[in-house]
Structure 1
Amino acid sequence: MQQEKRYSQMTEHELRQEIAGLQEKARKAEQLGMVNEFAVLERKVQMARAYLANPEEYKPGEIYEIEGAPGEYFKIEYLNGVFAWGYRTKGDGKEEALPISMLKRLK
């Protein structure tokens, strides 16, 4: 049995192939009404995309819109790998981590 590679060990090409495969599985799960499976696959897509993003483009202290959640914003306190740690501006103030691929720069 072959052990799967971690996203951090994959090349850009492998990540793009993984994302395409996950998106296809997610599409099928959505068509079949498998809501939980769809959500898990969508989260995996976001994680794989995070490894294609450049962490240096995300700055602590800046506020970003959360992709897929219009009107919700996230302030980065610090970065750890491909995760931005901080809090939602309209949230309860609890620290959380989001993959950087979920953050969109404000215009």
Structure 2
Amino acid sequence: MENEKKYSQMSEHELRTEIGTIMEKARKAEQLGMVNEYAVYQRKAVMAQSYLIDPKTIVKDEIYRIDGDEGVFFHVDYLKGRFAWGYRLGGERAMEALPIAMLKTVKEGK
């Protein structure tokens, strides 16, 4: 196994290159009908994108849209690393963690 860098150790350029590579693998998996592999690559890309975002831009007790889940909103209780912990609005208030790259301000892209 090759000695891969952690996302936290990568520069912005390295992260963007890694995201491009992951998205290309996802595209190929999708074309080949490998749904599970496609989903794994999509999640990896979101995690890498989370390292391009300053966690300080995610505000505790604010509500965000969930990217890729139209009409669903997420209330942030706290941050831990590159994950926002909270709950989806309108649900049973079950605590869950989302990578911060999945969160978009309510004002964006109405």
1:104 counterpart residue number: 104
Q: Deviations over 1:41-91 (max 9, x none)?
A: 000000000000011111010000000000011000001121100001122
Residues 1:28 and 2:28 are matched in the alignment? yes
Residues 1:3 and 2:27 are matched in the alignment? no
Query: For residues 19 and 28 of structure 1, what CA distance do their matches in structure 2 show?
Result: 14
Residues 1:77 and 2:77 are matched in the alignment? yes
Q: Deviations over 1:6-48 (max 9, x none)?
A: 1111111110010000000000000000000000000000000
Query: For residues 94 and 5 of structure 2, what CA distance do their matches in structure 1 show?
Result: 32
1:92 counterpart residue number: 92
TM-score (norm 2): 0.94
Q: Where do 4+ consecutive residues of structure 1 move more than 2 Å?
A: none
Alignment length, in residue pairs? 107
Q: How far did 1:92 drift? A: 2.0
Alignment identity in percent?
59
Unaligned runs of 5+ in 2: none
**Which 10-residue stretch deviates more, 64-73 or 88-97?**
88-97
What root-mean-square deviation, in Å, do the aligned CA atoms of Structure 1 and Structure 2 show?
Answer: 0.8
Query: For residues 18 and 2 of structure 1, what CA distance do their matches in structure 2 show?
Result: 15
Give 3-state SS (helix, strand or coil) of 1:85's partner.
strand
Give 3-state SS (helix, strand or coil) of 2:30's partner.
helix
Unaligned runs of 5+ in 1: none
